[in-house]
Structure 1
Amino acid sequence: CITRVVEELGRLDGVVHAAAHWQDFRAMSDVLSSDWANTLAANITAPWALTRAALPHLQAVEDGCAVFVDCECAHTPAVFHGAFGVSKAALRAMVAGWALENPGIRLHTFDPGPMRTTMRLLGYPGHPAESYPLPEIPAEALSALLAPDAAHRAQIASQVHWASDPPPSSAP
């Protein structure tokens, strides 16, 4: 996947890890072993493997960047978030480790907040869809983290950005 991108485009400037998986929200003692394994595989192992493959290419460009979509449950444990919450906390720790080991690459965790997606509506069926913003709103904030001018900003390593936060200052 990474090799094909580089072959077709000539380089890789950034990666966004936005995929997420959860079966349902339930007590950790009720999570099936297979659901636990599948959630950790999708939410922590897959981003690790993709980052590992992308790393040499991100190091080869002036402003390599990886953004990992985060969730509030990564730093504020919530009831019934089980494997999903654990995987997001592990993701945050992994990003911090990648950042320490690779100071020349910008690595971010980004929490888009609740948004009007199928995943959110399935997880929180009692909340009206209209109460959530459309994904285009946090996508603009995410794009600011990937923008080419980000090379001129102070490095932001393993820092959480909420979709409602303004983009990092462009001052040197």
Structure 2
Amino acid sequence: MIVLFNKPFNVLTKFTDEQGRPTLKDYIDIPKVYAAGRLDKDSEGLLLLTDDGQLNHQLTDPKNKEYKTYYVQVEGDIDEAALTALEAGVSLKDGLTKPALAKKISEPDWLWERTPAVRFRANIPTSWISLSIKEGRNRQVRRMTAAVGFPTLRLIRTQIGPYKLADIPSGEYRIFHK
């Protein structure tokens, strides 16, 4: 079994927290499922969980990395030079990223409101990109967009390999039987 969960902003990708912060337990009441990978608490979107240890390993093993696609709201009007740099690979403190797939998109019309809302500044425009990567370094997408001069304001994972967020509302999940 695979659980496709639309993780809300500010929710930890674990089932317990000593500090009482929101966790997966607040949304998912299925015994013995574990997250296949991570999604930072300030990121939203698709998180896969499974009760199958072998499948969890397959989904998270770096040798089997599938593209993960993110819709990213960035500060500023992103340009072709920045998109080209993202696609070529960006130099970060922990090395050069693998080439990515990057394109400018319109703000998704299906997007839910985030609580709290993304900060708004009348004098600074924002833009949206679709970014697909095969790696999973710590805060990689945020570091990549910052490195090309367009800091991330909102980050939503929409797809992991063949699994898509589709129309799952924020905070809800769908069970997918393999």
State TM-score, norm by structure 2: 0.24
Scaled by the length of structure 1, what TM-score is found? 0.24
Higher strand share: 2
Q: Which has the higher helix share?
A: 1
